Structure 1
Amino acid sequence: MGDRLSFYIRRIRERLWVRPLATCVLSVVIVFLAKLADRQDIGRYVVLITHDSVEKLLTIISSSMLVIATFAVGSMVAAYASASRTATPRSFSLIISDDLSQNALSTYIGAFIFSIVALIGLKNGYYDKVSRFTLFVITVLILAMVIVTFVRWVDCIARLGRITNTVEKVEAVTIKALRRRRRMPNLRGIPAEGLQHRGQAVYGESIGYVQRIEISALQTHAESAGLRIQVAALPGTFAAPGRVLAYVVGDQGAQVDFDPAPVAQAFVIGAHREFDEDPRFGLVVLSEIASRALSPAVNDPGTAIGIIGSFVRLFALWVEPVDDDDRDDSECDRVVVPEISVQDMFDDAFTAIAREGAGTIEVASRLQKAFASLSSLDDAAMRDAVTLHARRALARSELALALPDDLEEIRRLATFALSVQPGEVKEGVISP
């Protein structure tokens, strides 16, 4: 239940109107709560604040906040367009959910609504001495908050939408998704352990990407109907006609009559992939950014090299051992869920970079050095993936590089990457 709530909360956070709306409601509530101060017998302790001083302060805020809010929206839209144009449109959801930008916009709009409503109340004699003093204090605090928010937001908007900022955001959200999947490699189901797809197939009711699987719902249905369910489409899979989502059998492996609707409904399908429960999507987005940077129109190999470094960090994180205290044990013993394939993850990450950067010596060499680093990690599946992709990258470079010296350097680096053993360190063989 907690995971499901978190999933939908993150979807709400991606809506730009939600936080400003909540701030507007809070601003109106604060205006009326200030009146409650008149019920307290503290009139002799507060300073007398004139009607004109509060009115002028609220007028200044109301006249300036709308302008600042309009400027903020324009700057944010320009940053979103820049991110989609220079990086990839798939990063838009991360940029728009930036907390600092949303907080800034919410603060400006909330301050504007507060000043307007408070000014109306003040003009109509709603506030007495104590409540007027309270309103003055609240207004000063809001003005100070607006100033601090504006200073912080100027620094944020200068970076928002820039390619380095976008890469950092994508890498950060991919790290979270990888760590979550490492804690739950089978999404709280049980491992496949070499089982083949068997049983009656269940197909999707809509077309789109699997964003989330309600494993607990599958477990509940399987217990009530006496079924065993094997998931065939992990989050990130494109569900289309003919694409199996799951296979269902009876407790004894026999064919049974069952209602496929509850099984299909446990797969949340949407028009777009989401980062939360789909670690491979983060790899795909980073690879798209690197591929665009290597296009002739952009010609920015430095960005691709930086993303290769990001991939090394991400894959090193993937093979880190997980403490027993951090691992979420399997709770759904009737639902079989396969783990993510390291080979598929390498395909998502390195195929496009190897293709687009095959003729760029800086990128091709950095790619082979990354393979050497990953090959030294103590993981058999990753070493197999390194072997395949190092050879593919070398084959592409052999077709793309014209200078014999460059080609010889790539061959040397590829040979080294293929020879590294887990935990092995060879000083001086590869330069930085």
Structure 2
Amino acid sequence: MLSTLQFIRNRLSEALWVRPLVMCVVSFMGTVVAYLLGRWVDASLVPDISRESLEVLLGVLNTGMLAVAVFAVGAMVSAYSSAGQTATPRSFSLIIADDVSQNALSTFIGAFLFSVIAVLALMNGFYSGAGRFFLLILTLAVFWVVVITFIRWVDRIARLGRLAMTLKKVEAATTRAITRYQRSWLWHGASEEESAEGVEVRVPRIGYLQWIDFSLLQRWADKADLKIRLNVLPGAFITPDRVVARIMGKPERAIAEEDLERLGQAFRLGEQRLFDEDPRFGFVVLSEIASRALSPSVNDPGTAIQVVGQLVRLLHLWRNPEEEADAETDKRYDRLEAPAVQLESLFDDAFIGISRDGASMREVMIRLQKAFRALAAIDPEMKDMAEHYARLSLKRAQNALSLEEDYEDVRAVYEQWAK
């Protein structure tokens, strides 16, 4: 249930209409609260505020917020477009979910709606003397919130959509996905055994697997006294012919088609991969950004070098979890098994594209060799993998570097540790 709510919350955070709608409701409630306080408090206890002064103040807020909201939308759209062009379209969901920008747009729209409702209520004599005082306090508070929000938003919009900000957001999202994976039952519940036995579960749809409802699968398996082995994890591309899971064990009766359809509903498909439950996707996106930076039209090896450093940090986190699930006490999904995320897959996602597209750049190849050396020193199990990819990168450099001295520099770095 908790994972379901978290998945829904993450999807709502990517929808631009949610927070403005909430702020509109809050604005309306604010005007109602001012009215109720005006009825409960004696007018003689508060200063008398003229209706005209409030109308002028609210008019300034009314005209100013509409213009600022339109400007905010234009600036945000420009930032989203910049992110897709300078980094990769796969990072769009992270940019659009930026809290500061969404809060700013919501605040501006909410303040505009508040001023409209308050002006209409004032002109129709809705507020008493005490009510006008509390409306003034509320209006001044709205002004203060708008000013602070605008200052914060100007600072953020100057960076939003820029490559450095996008890289930071992608690394943060990948870190969260890795940490979530390490805290889940999947970290210790992975099974290396492949089996062709068992009742097949398929999904009659096509798309990327975004989320799996483990609770639904566990409840069904408990009720049927069976086990379910997953064949896929979030990030996999699913087609109707692909077996997403197998029901293991000896059922007391034949499994009904309705049950298989219900189990298939536990696999949520979409048009694109998501960062939430898919640790590999972050490595793919970072590699795409580096590959674009290495293209002849961009020719920005510095960005690729920066990405290599980020990939090293993420792989270090993968092998050295800050917090992981307890295999003995986490029995919530004891009837489920799942495949493991292979370390080789992470290396493929991270380095194949960079070593291919940067093979003709001496500085990128040297940085890759240093990265592999660092990864080999971080963890003994990562050493063989790092040496393998270091050899592949060296071969690519040998084929792509036109100057012999450049290749010798790359090989010298490789031979310093890979002996």
TM normalised by structure 2 equals 0.95
Q: Secondary structure at the match of 2:210?
A: strand
Partner amino acid, structure 2, of 1:394: L
**Segment drifting more, 203-212 vs 93-102:** 203-212
Whether the 8 Å contact between 1:185 and 1:340 is mirrored in structure 2 is no
- Other-structure match for 1:313: 313
Q: Secondary structure at the match of 2:347?
A: helix
> Percent identity, aligned pairs only?
47
Query: 1:271: how far off?
Result: 1.0
Q: Secondary structure at the match of 2:189?
A: coil
Q: Secondary structure at the match of 2:76?
A: helix
Residue 339 (structure 2) pairs with residue 349 (structure 1): no
- Other-structure match for 1:277: 277
Partner amino acid, structure 1, of 2:129: K
- Other-structure match for 1:12: 12
Q: 1:349 to 1:292 in 2, by over 3 A?
A: same
Query: 1:74: how far off?
Result: 0.2
Partner amino acid, structure 2, of 1:158: A
Q: 1:193 to 1:331 in 2, by over 3 A?
A: farther
CA distance in 2, matches of 1:42, 1:97: 45
Whether the 8 Å contact between 1:201 and 1:248 is mirrored in structure 2 is yes
Whether the 8 Å contact between 1:200 and 1:255 is mirrored in structure 2 is no
CA distance in 2, matches of 1:313, 1:408: 28
CA distance in 1, matches of 2:123, 2:279: 56
CA distance in 1, matches of 2:224, 2:336: 13
Alpha-carbon RMSD across the aligned residues, in angstroms, is 1.9
Residue 373 (structure 2) pairs with residue 372 (structure 1): yes
Query: 1:48: how far off?
Result: 1.3
- Other-structure match for 1:244: 243
Q: 1:326 to 1:80 in 2, by over 3 A?
A: farther
Whether the 8 Å contact between 1:229 and 1:334 is mirrored in structure 2 is yes
Residue 298 (structure 2) pairs with residue 298 (structure 1): yes
Q: Secondary structure at the match of 2:209?
A: strand
Q: Give 5+ residue unaligned stretches, structure 2.
A: none
Q: Secondary structure at the match of 2:43?
A: coil
Matches within 5 A, 1:27-426: 27-184=27-184, 186=186, 190-251=189-250, 257-258=255-256, 259-323=259-323, 329-380=330-381, 382-419=382-419
Q: Give 5+ residue unaligned stretches, structure 1.
A: 420-432
CA distance in 1, matches of 2:19, 2:399: 53
Whether the 8 Å contact between 1:228 and 1:335 is mirrored in structure 2 is yes
Query: 1:379: how far off?
Result: 4.0
CA distance in 1, matches of 2:104, 2:372: 42
Query: 1:325: how far off?
Result: 7.4
Q: 1:370 to 1:84 in 2, by over 3 A?
A: same
Write out per-residue CA displacement over residues 169-202 of structure 1, whole angstroms, 9 at most, x where no aligned residue. 0000100001111122516x83315454532322
CA distance in 2, matches of 1:389, 1:243: 30
- Other-structure match for 1:423: none
Whether the 8 Å contact between 1:293 and 1:300 is mirrored in structure 2 is yes
Whether the 8 Å contact between 1:191 and 1:336 is mirrored in structure 2 is yes
CA distance in 1, matches of 2:196, 2:351: 29
CA distance in 2, matches of 1:120, 1:164: 46
Q: Secondary structure at the match of 1:201?
A: strand
Q: Secondary structure at the match of 2:152?
A: helix
- The count of residues paired between Structure 1 and Structure 2 equals 416
Whether the 8 Å contact between 2:185 and 2:325 is mirrored in structure 1 is no
Q: 1:223 to 1:94 in 2, by over 3 A?
A: same
CA distance in 2, matches of 1:156, 1:235: 32
**Segment drifting more, 315-324 vs 12-21:** 315-324
Query: 1:323: how far off?
Result: 4.7
After the TM superposition, which segments of 4 or more aligned residues of structure 1 sit over 3 Å from their partners?
Answer: 193-198, 254-259, 321-328
Query: 1:168: how far off?
Result: 0.2
CA distance in 2, matches of 1:197, 1:346: 28
Partner amino acid, structure 1, of 2:85: R
Whether the 8 Å contact between 2:182 and 2:325 is mirrored in structure 1 is no
Write out per-residue CA displacement over residues 354-386 of structure 1, whole angstroms, 9 at most, x where no aligned residue. 000010011111011000000012241x22321
Q: Secondary structure at the match of 1:268?
A: strand
Q: 1:303 to 1:260 in 2, by over 3 A?
A: same
Partner amino acid, structure 1, of 2:202: Y
Whether the 8 Å contact between 1:364 and 1:397 is mirrored in structure 2 is yes
TM normalised by structure 1 equals 0.92
Q: Secondary structure at the match of 1:376?
A: helix
Whether the 8 Å contact between 2:179 and 2:321 is mirrored in structure 1 is no
**Segment drifting more, 124-133 vs 259-268:** 259-268
Q: Secondary structure at the match of 1:269?
A: strand
Partner amino acid, structure 1, of 2:229: Q
